[in-house]
Amino acid sequence: MIASFGTDEVKSQYMDQLVMGELLASYCLTEPGSGSDAASLKTKAVLDGDEYVLNGSKMFISGAGETDVLVVMARTGEEGPKGISAFVVPADAAGVIYGKAEEKMGWNAQPTRLITFEDVRIPAANLMGKEGEGFKFAMQGLDGGRINIATCSIGTAQQALNTAKEYMQERQQFGKPLAAFQALQFKIADMNTELVAARQMVRLAAFKLDSNDPEKTTYCAMAKRFATDVGTKVCDDALQIHGGYGYIKEYPLERHLRDVRVHQILEGTNEIMRVIIARRILAEGAASVL
Ligand SMILES: Cc1cc2nc3c(=O)[nH]c(=O)nc-3n(C[C@H](O)[C@H](O)[C@H](O)COP(=O)(O)OP(=O)(O)OC[C@H]3O[C@@H](n4cnc5c(N)ncnc54)[C@H](O)[C@@H]3O)c2cc1C
């Protein structure tokens, strides 16, 4: 988002280091009262001379407290999406207050925190694009974010499948390896088939995003919905193949399942993915095959 929509000042300040991974950034859209209905957000930014003053709070922010830059969506105008602008905020600016790291079911490699903004002053040059364009930028950022989350699910599910395959070949019951039981053969066949389908769908969506296809948003939503549902199912099946050992922490399966579960929720829930897809299919004048 910074590369595409930031001013030259902001780009020269942050971009090289962000691209090198020397700085990390957080994406701040969700609020305590506005999740799926993101366009109802209440955080305010008011222009005061050559600075904006931010007040409000952002919920569930990935990496918050450990990152260097915050991309914050805040209201500068009317109610609804057209009154929202996007800002680049230094993570250590005066008045940026971090809540406790949330205790989560999984995804513990990074913290998730509430951020409160109390009279946070930032240069006017930290506005991305023009006032009122922020929601559009935020939604465009989510297209790529959805490919990212879908890919996390596929990678984790592939590892769970690999672990289950080895376990089926090693573990003996009824005098045979588990791999000899057709019920489990069929299970792992379905796991692999669905995972390949999900991976192909993510690659197709990524291609449409890269080539700026008019249906890129629909494809990113379909790929995110499908890959995260398949990823969660494959991890659950891999745990089941491990029997009781899958449920204990000595094995990685329970962690894989806890880690992928959140992919069905963040970057827009899978219900919201269906809202996006259905809206496009049923739009007036939509092609019969998208
Ligand atoms: C670990 C984690 C990290 C996150 N990281 C970030 C981050 O870095 N930045 C950020 O901005 N946000 C982040 N989020 C927030 C995440 O995007 C939201 O949790 C998500 O968008 C859902 O919002 P909500 O939790 O308020 O649920 P709600 O919007 O309250 O939804 C509750 C339920 O109702 C369903 N629902 C809502 N509206 C509809 C509808 N119209 N039709 C059908 N069903 C509906 C939802 O699908 C869900 O099942 C993160 C969340 C988590 C858990």
Domain ranges for the chain = 2-130, 136-289
Backbone conformation region of residue 249, classed left if phi is above 0, alpha if psi is from -120 to 50, else beta: alpha
Q: Model confidence over 114-131: pLDDT tens digits?
A: 999 999 999 999 999 999
One-letter identity of residue 197 = A
**pLDDT score at 287:** 85
| CB of 125 shorter than 6 A to ligand 1 | no
**DSSP H helix total and E strand total for the chain:** 8, 10
- For residue 271, the Cα-to-chain-centroid distance in whole angstroms is 14
Q: Model confidence over 225-261: pLDDT tens digits?
A: 999 999 999 999 999 999 999 999 999 999 999 999 9
The residue contributing the CA closest to ligand 1 atom 50 is 60
Q: What is the pTM of this model?
A: 0.96
Cα torsion 116, 47, 68, 26: sign: positive
Per CATH, 2-130 and 136-289 having the same topology is answered no
**pLDDT score at 285:** 87
Ligand 1 centroid to Cα of residue 103, in Å, is 17
Ligand 1 centroid to Cα of residue 70, in Å, is 19
The residue contributing the CA closest to ligand 1 atom 19 is 266
Q: Relative to the CA of 37, which ligand 1 atom is closest?
A: 29
Report how far residue 179's alpha carbon sits from residue 51's, in angstroms, rounded to the nearest whole number. 65
Architecture of domain 136-289: Up-down Bundle (1.20)
Active site residues: 267
Residue 127: how many CB atoms within 10 A of its CB?
A: 24
Q: What is the mean pLDDT of residues 71-81?
A: 98
Q: What is the mean pLDDT of residues 49-74?
A: 98
> What is the DSSP pairing of strand 25-28 with strand 69-75?
parallel
The residue contributing the CA closest to ligand 1 atom 17 is 266
The residue contributing the CA closest to ligand 1 atom 14 is 60
| CB of 28 shorter than 6 A to ligand 1 | yes
Give, for 128, the enclosing helix (H) or strand (E): strand 127-128
Protein fold of 2-130: Butyryl-CoA Dehydrogenase, subunit A; domain 2 (2.40.110)
Q: Model confidence over 266-276: pLDDT tens digits?
A: 999 999 999 99
| CB of 269 shorter than 6 A to ligand 1 | yes
Report how far residue 34's alpha carbon sits from residue 240's, in angstroms, rounded to the nearest whole number. 36
The residue written with tokens 């066949």 in the block is: 189
The residue contributing the CA closest to ligand 1 atom 37 is 36
**pLDDT score at 127:** 98
Ligand 1 centroid to Cα of residue 38, in Å, is 9
Residue 164 has pLDDT above 90, yes or no: yes
Q: Relative to the CA of 107, which ligand 1 atom is closest?
A: 1
Q: Of 50, 53, 37, whose CA–CA distance to 87 is shortest?
A: 53
| CB of 265 shorter than 6 A to ligand 1 | yes
| CB of 107 shorter than 6 A to ligand 1 | yes
Q: Relative to the CA of 58, which ligand 1 atom is closest?
A: 11
